[in-house]
Structure 1
Amino acid sequence: MKNFFTSIFRPIIYIFLGLSLVFACQKINPFEDVELTVNTDIYQAPILIHFLDANVDATKLPENISVSISGPGKNLIFDDLGGKNYTAAGNVLSLVLDKDAKPTETNPVEFTVSVTAPGYVSTSQTISITDPTKSLEFTVPLTNVAATPEGTAAKTETLSLTTGQTLTVPATADKPEVATITIAPGTQVKDESGNVIPSNTVNAQIVQYGTGSEESLNSFPGSFTPENVTLQTGASTAGTFVSAGFVAIDMEAGGKKVKSFTKPIDVNVGINTELFNPETDQKVKEGDQIPTWSFESSTGEWKEEGMATVVKGSDGKLSATFKASHLSYWNIDWFYYLPRCRPSFALKVTSNLLTNVVSSNYYAKVYWAPANSNNFQYVYQAYGFNAKNGELNQYIGLYTPNGSRVRIDVYAYSNNAKIGTTGIFNPCANTQTPITINAPTPPTPIVVDVDFTAKCQNKSVNIKPSAWVGLYDPSGRSYYERYISGYMRSGKATIVVYEGREYTFGAYYGGKYYSGKVTFNKTGSKIVTSTGTGITGTTSYNTSTGRVQVVASYVTNDCK
């Protein structure tokens, strides 16, 4: 999945529950005698990254995730303890920005999060911070080789280096294109250091991503608007990709990871019959030339490699062919760059929904086209959209060429029906774009204002904590609909939930996850922590505003 926008400023939907809490001048123990270092917002731009299975039908989340941070701004990024131990709590990673950093839209802090997990294709996400006061939330889909998302397929075989061999990813019902790699006889393979690996065979794996499925496109590594691209001229730039297809190729020989070859391998990637060439504004045809790009997942860098030629097979189907001298993601893409802008715009909502809504129940799909083209490419799904009448949904995107054209459609998760669409607009114009929403009537929501305090029994100290927290609604059909998350600042948060439902709440801190259950009602809210004791609170309902006020606290003997 992967992504047109790197930042979506959702409405504040964020919960209380002191739980695990952030930073370093006091220590409290929210659950089970775990000591947590607490402070009051000495860091900036709290960031929460969700690592998800790219297959929307997956019943499990990625596990045993390993991450690393690279890029020009890496020295300014810390874990939520203020260190460099980047540990995911389950499928979630919490980061913060150095307290002295001063990012702006013209001088952002940029860094790359690289991720690996057993059974998944490695990938990365480049993040750009332009406002140190904002909390940021991202999703990074990972491809499970054993259960690929729609429009994607994988194949693994042991190939002979002595005689040469071809590995084919066959067509499937949701991916009609075929991909092949061919190793020439006598090819030798090399490791990361360029040393030849003494082996007559190689274990090869290809994951092919088609362009006819949004689920497949969501798996695109990094972003369709990358900020770290090296051209064949050696120049570095940012811009926008229009993909004709991409593959992830991995090999292992003699127990070592293969990086390159003594003879380039031949790669052939099928082309979707409905794909348009943005340079001609016509469907792709035999003889078209499409640039090829390799991706280094450990740094988030795209590198221009050469050209692929579109050929027609005996079956009449089109494919792009090229030679690859090393292994990585290989992307067949048209690339648009300079002059460019960093879009900052908003969608102004006119809606039949006149009361507060649960934003996680709606989502937006973003489509992009170059100037003077009407052939829009799906580039991103934005999770969380405030569909209430009069709301302003704000977006800041990555660099995109001036004159680009964008359309945004909004959907309801309840039935995946489209409930609104914008006109075509220029994202570089920095304007408000109107959108009319006609949505199914949802259950009645309830707005909860939370004031949380951690009270130190052995000292005259009260802590107003800050932490990433989340609510899970088990009645949701997917991870995105079930999950509400956000950052609680100095003990204060406002959430919009459904009355009477039992939510699982959680907090992320220091590579750990803490959880309990809560049910919100107008007459009273029931709170049960993971140990059954600990958090206490009172609730009150304001009939004139229709809001519930929760004042909650936790008493600890462990304030150091």
Structure 2
Amino acid sequence: MKSYLRKYIWLAIPLGIALIFFSTCNFKNPTDNLKLIVNFESVKTTVAVDFVNSKTGATIDDRTITLQVEGKDRAMAVDLTNEPASRFSVTEGLISFGIREGVTPTPDSPLELRLIVNAAGYLPTSLPVVIDSTGSHPFSVFMVLKSDPPEGVSTTSDNSGQAGNNGAVLGAIVVSTDPEPESGCAATVTIPQGTIVTDGSGNPLQGGLTVEVTYFNSQTESSLNSFPGGFSVNVSADPDGNPGEGVFITAGFIVVEITDANGRKASSFDPEITLTIEIAPGTINPETDLPVAAGDIIPVWSYDNATGEWQYEGPGVVTGPNANGNFQISYQTGHLSWWNLDWWWWWCSLGKRIVLQGKTDCDGCLWVNVKAVWGGWTSWRYICDDFIQFYYIVPKSLPVEITAFDRWGRRVGGPLRIEDLCDLTQPVMNINIQSTNTYRVFHITGTCPNKDRLDIRPSLPVWIREAGTSRWRYLGYVRNGVLEICNFEVPKRYEIKTFYRGRYYSALFDFYADYSVFVSGNYVTATASGNHVYYNVTLPDNLCNRL
């Protein structure tokens, strides 16, 4: 056997069970009355990621998503068999990977990754991932479908522009989004006649030009969820010119994409073009605790799609109000990216711990939202413990509201208002999850058709959804083939799914009114007995041949 199998192996014998420890997996000629049971946990730290349409809340499973692992500790990324892997092709909206075995992240020495995400028809985005312990770490990535953006977002496309053979724009191009309904704000790009437009390789764009402009307001939850890279960031240079970490509080952001008839994407402009972002009246300037006013300074930042990092571009000066009552910032740029108006906010590395009173291990992970009371900042995270610990880059002196949801998206705690996450007092959030008589222990065994004396007990993340719904949610971590779950509604049908070595495995199970269970699935056979459900999963040949 390959060395990625664990060295602790059980031999089950019909007349009894003998527990034998081996230092190698090189077994030869086992006798017929022996069954080899392998507790398969090649890595002890995993990252489980699902990809979500920002408008509909549905898992994106209708196209291929590309996930690239970057960041300071990207070399630590492996697949679930502990083989190096940093690029993944996602076809069903879910993926899991591991952290190299032997690496033990801690709160004092966390691992820092950045997930770069691309999918056809969606705006590119990224997600910072901080791992501070072993175990399974679930995350969700929100993505914007350009043809159907969420609330708080306005987009427009214009194809009236033309460029000559040398890339020079033949006439001035001015493209504005419609006012976004929630804020009444818009964004505008202005390209002067004669501007030379080139792609990332220096090739000129030629012929017809398509200009797409998308504006995101700073208040609507679905808009803020779409912010690429998150609001706790590492930058190569802050407004004082120093590399470092900090918190963004946004006043709005935009993305501009320009392509020609040959599919070339604009990257650079000579001379510079002008971008204008409007700001809604009443938007709070966190530095003054007052609504924004003419003369206020908001730093301007640009985003690198390849690295997922933000770069400081200079101060933005607020002007206005305009005739429509909105304020605005205009600035010149010679390149394209996401553009963002963000106050650079201070932070602490260790923040508040909030006790989740009433949460049990059986309840699984909660889906927790933390958002600034005055807008401009939000964070979603899965919480699997009975407390929330804020650490790494925590916004200081920023009033927030915290709300907890169960695995089905139902509110079970909060909103709890906290004036300062860096205040180390320990408040309590009461968690109220309705208990049902649906405690079950799932036993999962992988088998190979040509190796009937070999059983694999896997360790890997699992997702769940109510049958017929569109959102997969993190259920938990199967360890050595066992997962305990509870509090399902009856009668109802559910689906579970996982991913391993290029294949997705799924199964249906029905909880009937009498709490009995029926199970079926692809690559899966199952039986149920009392509180125990037994899955037998047929493993792919490419894995079986390695055993």
Q: Is the pair's TM-score, using the shorter chain for normalization, greater than 0.5?
A: yes
Give distance in 1, aligned partners of 2:397 and 2:289: 16
> Which residue of structure 1 aligns with residue 218 of structure 2?
211
Question: Which structure 2 residues correspond to residues 94-243 of structure 1 after superposition, within 5 A?
Answer: 94-131=96-133, 133-158=134-159, 159-160=161-162, 161-193=169-201, 195-197=202-204, 199=206, 201-231=208-238, 234-243=241-250
> Which residue of structure 2 aligns with residue 281 of structure 1?
289
With a CA cutoff of 8 Å and minimum separation of 6, indicate the structure with the bigger relative contact order: 1
User: Which of 85, 88, 96 lines up with 2:90 in the alignment?
Assistant: 88
User: Which of 453, 467, 482 lines up with 1:474 in the alignment?
Assistant: 467
**Residue aligned with 2:222, SS:** helix
Q: Deviations over 1:358-378 (max 9, x none)?
A: 667x75431247xxxxx4654
Q: Deviations over 1:500-538 (max 9, x none)?
A: 32112222112331222112456632121226xx53444
> Which residue of structure 2 aligns with residue 18 of structure 1?
none
> Which residue of structure 2 aligns with residue 68 of structure 1?
68
1:45 CA drift (Å)? 1.5
Give distance in 2, aligned partners of 1:529 and 1:515: 6
1:157 CA drift (Å)? 1.2
**Residue aligned with 2:75, SS:** helix
Distance 1:420 1:102, change over 3 A: closer
Letter in structure 1 aligned against 2:40? T
**Residue aligned with 2:463, SS:** strand
Q: Please, which moves more after superposition, 489-498 or 154-163?
A: 154-163
- The number of residues matched between the two structures is 495
> Which residue of structure 2 aligns with residue 8 of structure 1?
none
1:539 aligns with 2:503: no
Distance 1:57 1:223, change over 3 A: closer
Letter in structure 2 aligned against 1:427? L
Give distance in 1, aligned partners of 2:425 and 2:91: 38
> Which residue of structure 1 aligns with residue 532 of structure 2?
549
User: Which of 323, 333, 350 lines up with 1:324 in the alignment?
Assistant: 333
Give distance in 2, aligned partners of 1:411 and 1:92: 20
The Cα RMSD (Å) is 3.2
Contact 2:316 2:331 in 1 (8 A): yes
**Residue aligned with 1:315, SS:** coil
> Which residue of structure 1 aligns with residue 371 of structure 2?
367
User: Which of 425, 429, 435 lines up with 2:429 in the alignment?
Assistant: 435
Contact 1:447 1:495 in 2 (8 A): yes
1:270 CA drift (Å)? 1.2
Contact 2:172 2:191 in 1 (8 A): yes
Flag the structure with larger Rg: 2
Q: Please, which moves more after superposition, 484-493 or 228-237?
A: 228-237
Contact 1:89 1:511 in 2 (8 A): no
Give distance in 1, aligned partners of 2:537 and 2:395: 51
**Residue aligned with 2:288, SS:** coil
Letter in structure 2 aligned against 1:511? G
Give distance in 2, aligned partners of 1:107 and 1:218: 28
1:394 aligns with 2:377: no
Contact 2:370 2:403 in 1 (8 A): yes
Distance 1:97 1:473, change over 3 A: same
User: Which of 357, 376, 382 lines up with 1:349 in the alignment?
Assistant: 357
Distance 1:58 1:376, change over 3 A: closer
1:232 CA drift (Å)? 5.1
Contact 2:65 2:93 in 1 (8 A): yes
Distance 1:191 1:502, change over 3 A: same
1:47 CA drift (Å)? 0.9
**Residue aligned with 2:294, SS:** coil
User: Which of 447, 469, 476 lines up with 1:486 in the alignment?
Assistant: 476
Q: Deviations over 1:357-404 (max 9, x none)?
A: 8667x75431247xxxxx465412446x78xxxx82334444125555
| Structure 2 spans left out of the alignment, 5+ residues | 1-23, 27-37, 163-168
User: Which of 303, 309, 316 lines up with 2:311 in the alignment?
Assistant: 303
Give distance in 2, aligned partners of 1:70 and 1:415: 30
Q: Deviations over 1:314-350 (max 9, x none)?
A: 333211211122111100010124x631446233326
Give distance in 2, aligned partners of 1:59 and 1:514: 16
TM-score by length of 1: 0.79
**Residue aligned with 1:217, SS:** helix
User: Which of 245, 258, 263 lines up with 2:252 in the alignment?
Assistant: 245
Distance 1:397 1:216, change over 3 A: farther
**Residue aligned with 1:87, SS:** strand
Contact 1:227 1:398 in 2 (8 A): no
> Which residue of structure 1 aligns with residue 378 of structure 2?
379
Give distance in 2, aligned partners of 1:146 and 1:555: 40
Give distance in 1, aligned partners of 2:245 and 2:174: 35
1:198 CA drift (Å)? 5.1
Give distance in 1, aligned partners of 2:98 and 2:413: 35
Letter in structure 1 aligned against 2:393? Y
Letter in structure 1 aligned against 2:156? K
User: Which of 412, 418, 441 lines up with 1:449 in the alignment?
Assistant: 441
Q: Deviations over 1:66-110 (max 9, x none)?
A: 222222211110233424252214111211000022322232221
> Which residue of structure 2 aligns with residue 498 of structure 1?
489
Distance 1:109 1:359, change over 3 A: closer
1:153 CA drift (Å)? 1.3
Distance 1:396 1:49, change over 3 A: farther
User: Which of 415, 418, 442 lines up with 1:421 in the alignment?
Assistant: 415
1:128 CA drift (Å)? 1.4
**Residue aligned with 1:86, SS:** strand
Distance 1:212 1:324, change over 3 A: same
> Which residue of structure 1 aligns with residue 11 of structure 2?
none
Q: Please, which moves more after superposition, 416-425 or 119-128?
A: 416-425
**Residue aligned with 1:227, SS:** strand
Give distance in 1, aligned partners of 2:505 and 2:408: 29
1:233 CA drift (Å)? 5.1
Contact 1:293 1:305 in 2 (8 A): yes
Letter in structure 2 aligned against 1:167? V
Contact 1:52 1:62 in 2 (8 A): no
Letter in structure 2 aligned against 1:485? L
Q: Deviations over 1:449-468 (max 9, x none)?
A: 22333466746443221122
